[in-house]
Structure 1
Amino acid sequence: MIEPPVRRLLDAECLLGEGPCWDAARGVLWFVDIKRHRLWHYDPATGSNAAVEAPDQIGWALPAEDGRLLCGLKDGLHLFDPEARSFEKLAAVPGEPAHNRLNDGCTDPWGRVWFGSMDDAESAASGRFYLFDRGRIAPAGPAEIAITNGPAVNGDGTKIYFTDTLGQRIMVADLGPEGVGAARPFADVKAHFPDAWPDGPVVDAEGHVWTGLYNGWHLARFSPDGALVLTVRLPTQNLTKPCFGGPDLRTLFVTTAQKGLTPDRLAAQPWAGSLLAFDAPVAGVATTAVKLA
């Protein structure tokens, strides 16, 4: 275990901070506060930041090739124009029940978007994973999951990782330009952290998988064969998702959450809900822009 010097970059007071994504073209980090319907951006070079109110709960925002961001909201996919600071609905996700919402997502090296849905009440196994490929949305990956997280794709696009948060496990499948294979077990998070839930994952340049641990006080790093090789302790218990960013992809940004903390625990954890960062021991992988068409 390591306890690196951690920086509190922004006191965003996130009820449920999530979805950090490094936008290399703009040199900013995008992240969301799902429950407060906020899309944030943060510029580490200047410290400037701002939040825009989304039309509904927003799980993620990924830069697209045309300069807009593709976003996953409760009712489907939206496009966000950073210049106009406006959202436009692109598409609903076919077959999604009204009590579900979209939760987490990522791109692969071909500019496709992998994302998941979940029961907004966090109990029914009504969530599943999808693929957005140049305007087309189709089920792809595991189904019948209450809280999906990730996916996360490795640098060469040969592996994709799916998180079943309530099941306390991470799965892996083979990936390629033609599609995705069957998911199989990757890491039994419960065996290492019985009281924590794996949240958002990301893959580093060495092919290792990092995950936030909700109610866990730590980030965990797993080797490509699923072995736990590193834990990083941070100063608040609800760690949602890490993201590699900065000019050299050596800064690890981490979103956090206040959700579920009692007033006493909030008082004892003043950094809960903040955007945190520390210098990573390894570099990350650049995010591929979304291909919309």
Structure 2
Amino acid sequence: MAIGEPASVVAVGALLGEGPVWNPRESALWFVDIKGYRIHRFDPAAGALDSWDAPAQPGWVLPAEDGGFVVGLQGGIHRFDPATGAFTAIAPVEADRPGNRLNDACTDGQGRIWLGSMDDAEEADTGRIYRFENGRLVDPGLPPVCITNGPAISPDGRTLYHVDTLGRRVWACALAQDGRLGAPRLFAEIGDREGYPDGPTVDSEGHVWIGLFAGWAARRYAPDGALVETVHFPVANVTKLAFGGDDLKTVYATTAAKGLSADERERQPLAGNLFSFRVDVPGVPVTPARTEAA
């Protein structure tokens, strides 16, 4: 598979860029800066970046079935209206855990939102994976970890991948049509000196792409867990990838300046920017999120 070299496409300088998602309705990429309390929209045709302030840490943004957007803020799921910049609460998440925040999400082929939480202090195993469907939040019973990332869903909808970032492990679970999950099995493990697995996404061949925080790279794993490609970046913290463009062969990658010393920032002037590169294998179209009861 031919892979292009990653290049910075827009200077964001995000503290913690995350959650890139391609919205085909407007041919634009949406993403967040969690620690910067910002939501961003990048129009590659115009080379333009639009930004909105968030009232709490935004973990992710997803296109919604009704044409709007859904955002995971610390404390709950919200509708977001770019025209006004307004956020409207849909459902609380972990109101009893004020030290947690939301971190990463995706939709499955039915438009259900799969989302994760984490300990904002990055110390306690209080992070969980949830499913939001028919207007309610469901805990599918996965073991808690400190920092969740993902989930991501295989193209056939039968496997869910989720990441234990501090444990440096990527897990896979069988996913039933009704949303039930099978027992987790180890999919991939990252070595101690290779960084931390961050956000996952999948391509149309069922391969899993993982950004590496503090790893200077992103990796592509085959469905059997074998490492098949590594893409190197000029910045250390690669957080998550998303497929975009009309052919879904342009990969966008969010990055982060979080945790870098002043000297490291000087040596990584592109840290926190949005990057892109081209691939031969396209991604999978994102199903808009359903927020209403069926």
* TM-score > 0.5, shorter chain as reference: yes
1:26-37 pair list within 5 angstroms: 26-37=26-37
SS at match of 2:175: strand
Report the TM-score, using the length of structure 1 for normalisation: 0.96
1:97-246 pair list within 5 angstroms: 97-179=97-179, 180-190=181-191, 194-246=193-245
SS at match of 2:150: strand
Query: Greater shift after overlay, 87-96 or 270-279?
Result: 87-96
1:4-32 superposed Cα distances (whole Å, 9 cap, x missing partner): 33221111110000000000111110000
Query: 1:252 is aligned with what amino acid?
Result: V
Change (3 A) 1:10 1:197: same
d(CA) in 2 for partners of 1:150 and 1:5?
Answer: 24
How far does residue 195 in structure 1 lie from its aligned partner after superposition?
3.9
SS at match of 2:20: strand
Aligned partner of 1:267 in structure 2 is 266
How many pairs are equivalent?
291
Q: CA RMSD in A?
A: 1.5
Change (3 A) 1:79 1:249: same
SS at match of 1:264: helix
Aligned partner of 2:63 in structure 1 is 63
Query: Greater shift after overlay, 176-185 or 239-248?
Result: 176-185
Query: Greater shift after overlay, 180-189 or 69-78?
Result: 180-189
Q: Percent identity?
A: 48
Query: 2:215 is aligned with what amino acid?
Result: G
Report the TM-score, using the length of structure 2 for normalisation: 0.96
Query: 1:185 is aligned with what amino acid?
Result: L
Query: 2:243 is aligned with what amino acid?
Result: F
SS at match of 1:77: strand
How far does residue 141 in structure 1 lie from its aligned partner after superposition?
4.8
Gaps of 5+ in 2: none
d(CA) in 2 for partners of 1:136 and 1:60?
Answer: 18
How far does residue 48 in structure 1 lie from its aligned partner after superposition?
1.6
1:46-74 superposed Cα distances (whole Å, 9 cap, x missing partner): 11211100110001000001111111111
SS at match of 1:176: coil
Query: 2:184 is aligned with what amino acid?
Result: A
Gaps of 5+ in 1: none
d(CA) in 1 for partners of 2:19 and 2:260?
Answer: 20
Change (3 A) 1:9 1:141: farther
How far does residue 256 in structure 1 lie from its aligned partner after superposition?
0.3
Does structure 2 conserve the Cα–Cα contact (< 8 Å) formed by 1:141 and 1:183?
no
Does structure 2 conserve the Cα–Cα contact (< 8 Å) formed by 1:100 and 1:119?
yes
d(CA) in 1 for partners of 2:222 and 2:37?
Answer: 34
How far does residue 140 in structure 1 lie from its aligned partner after superposition?
1.8
Aligned partner of 1:249 in structure 2 is 248
Query: 1:254 is aligned with what amino acid?
Result: A
d(CA) in 2 for partners of 1:128 and 1:284?
Answer: 26
